[in-house]
């Protein structure tokens, strides 16, 4: 049973990664790893801190994230893989960490 759950989780993880790779980049968004300058310039919560907040509150694993700007508002768009293989898409406020 546990082995089957791991296989399902791996399959979902792979599907999410492949879907994300095939999707066009969203306007106003930058990949998490490229967001350092934007984070510093706008005094936002760091990607690492957001990663910890999301994992602690959801109990899942962050599998992808990007930082998006809409005017003066910044949000992290985060995809989380849950313990049971469920996939959640979250919008996390980059100034407060709330979602």
**Per residue in 50-61, pLDDT tens?**
999 999 999 999
Alpha carbons 53 and 30: distance in angstroms, whole number: 20
Q: How far apart are alpha carbons 54 and 37 in whole angstroms? A: 22
Q: Which of 65, 5, 80 is nearest to 29 (CA)?
A: 65
Residue pair 58/84 in contact by the 8 Å Cβ criterion: no
The dihedral region occupied by 4, where left means phi > 0, alpha psi between -120 and 50, and beta the remainder, is alpha
Q: pTM of the prediction?
A: 0.70
Give ∠ CA 95-98-96 in degrees, rounded to 5: 20
**How high is the pLDDT of residue 15?**
45
pLDDT, one tens digit per residue, over 57-84 is: 999 999 999 999 988 899 999 999 999 9
Given pLDDT bands bounded at 50, 70 and 90, which one contains residue 31?
confident
34 pLDDT exceeds 90? no
Calpha distance 67→64 (Å, rounded)? 11
DSSP string, 23-46: SPPPTTEEEGGG-HHHHHHTTPPP
- Given a cut of 50, whether residue 24 has pLDDT beyond it is no
Domain ranges of the chain: 2-93
| Residue 42 tokens, joined | 């706008």
Inform me whether the pLDDT recorded for 87 exceeds 60: yes
């Amino acid at each position: 049973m546990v082995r089957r759950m791991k296989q399902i989780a791996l399959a979902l993880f792979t599907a999410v990664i492949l879907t994300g790779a095939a999707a066009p980049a969203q306007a106003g968004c930058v990949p998490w790893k490229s967001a350092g300058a934007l984070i510093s310039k706008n005094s936002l919560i760091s990607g690492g801190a957001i990663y910890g907040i999301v994992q602690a509150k959801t109990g899942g694993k962050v599998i992808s994230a990007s930082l998006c700007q809409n005017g003066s508002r910044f949000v992290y768009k985060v995809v989380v893989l849950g313990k049971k293989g469920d996939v959640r898409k979250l919008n996390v406020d980059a100034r407060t960490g709330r979602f």
